[in-house]
A = this chain, B = another copy of it.
Amino acid sequence: MADTKVYRASTTAPVNIAVVKYWGKRDPKLNLPTNSSLSVTLSQADLRTLTTASCSSSYTEGDSLTLNGEASDVSGARTQACFRELRSRRAALEAADASLPKLSAMPVKLVSENNFPTAAGLASSAAGFAALVQAIALLYELPDSPSDLSLVARQGSGSACRSLFGGYVAWRMGDKDDGSDSKAELIAPASHWPEMRALILVASAAKKGVSSTSGMQQTVATSGLFQQRISTVVPANMALMEEAVKAKDFTKFAEVTMRESNSFHATCADTYPPIFYMNDVSRAAIRAVEHINAKAGKTIAAYTFDAGPNCVVYYLEESSSTILGTFYQALGEVSGWKEGTAGIKSTVELESSLASSLKEGVSRVIMTGVGEGPIKTEEYLIDENGQAVKR
């Protein structure tokens, strides 16, 4: 009798926000970067992708992916590379143990959901590909470590490789042509420095002008300053950032984070034609962070921007009242504040022009902090019959 069982596995995976930025591919096909990078994994209570992977010989329509209720194309080279890598690892297990069901030969059905609005312009592809790879790895019962799986996720979306770990994560660029040493590595778990918080200011006009993939290739090809960034600036910042995380030195962490964001956006501005991800609201957020630090008399907040105008403000739990209270004054009317924030008083006041720039340009906030890596779950988005669960 043929095996028509529906095999399932579910996982969640986190978003990560880099503090040493990935920008530039030395091999676009394998997603091999021009430089190493380092990120903080954010809490899945606030931002996560939930993905159920399933396979069954009863599936007749080939591999498929449903993302936030809509069919998503899986024929792209990147998704195909992930499927191929994971199937080949499963096939090796099956070849070594004939008692294993032949999952590698079955169509895969994936259903995936984010717990945050995709319209927010947050880099959801990192969490998405990390969850996809992790869910299939669980389905296939692969013995691979998170670092091994990061090699696969990297081929889906570069920064996804860092979402295989919680806490503080480096992506080592590696130097091999086949990319086998270009993978993620844990610098420190979330428990090492659990006090790290992030306040995300989601900008109203979050539409990207230039996609990251094409943007970074234009930078590599045309920026006269880019070589200096990858040969000198980033290696120095990686070393400083690892020291900062290990020593839990927020001042150093913050300075490197801000300089790195500046350096990355500088090479974008030096691209020809120039790429601008930040706008006047982003710059107002920078000035607000600078003002908070100046008033505090020490560095208690750090801004960073990915390939979009959203500002991520990193700070420590101990500075919560100053950071949250100050931004709440300007942005109390937007959504996303957690209970109790309204009652926080800050002694720092923003200039009215700064406050009104923020008010005009920020549509919501997300309050979160450092968190764990992918978590296996019994919550399934595909039922035992292989049908997507209605939600």
Contact = CB atoms under 8 A, between A and B. Distances in A.
Interface of A: 223-225, 227-229, 232-233, 236, 255, 258-259, 262-263, 265-267, 269-274, 276, 279-280, 283, 286, 290
28 contacts: A224-B228, A224-B233, A224-B259, A225-B225, A225-B228, A225-B229, A225-B233, A225-B266, A225-B267, A225-B270, A227-B228, A228-B228, A258-B272, A258-B273, A262-B269, A262-B271, A262-B274, A263-B270, A265-B269, A266-B266, A266-B267, A266-B270, A269-B269, A273-B286, A274-B286, A276-B283, A279-B280, A279-B283
Copies in the complex: 2
The A interface is mostly helix, strand or loop, or mixed, namely helix
B262 A270 contact: yes
Nearest to A258: B272
Contacts of A266: 223, 225, 266-267, 269-270
Contacts of A227: 228
A227 B178 CA distance: 33
Nearest to A236: B224
A226 to B, nearest CB: 9
A276 B271 CA distance: 17
Given A224-B236, A262-B270, A266-B266, 4 more contacts: A224-B259, A225-B225, A225-B267, A266-B269
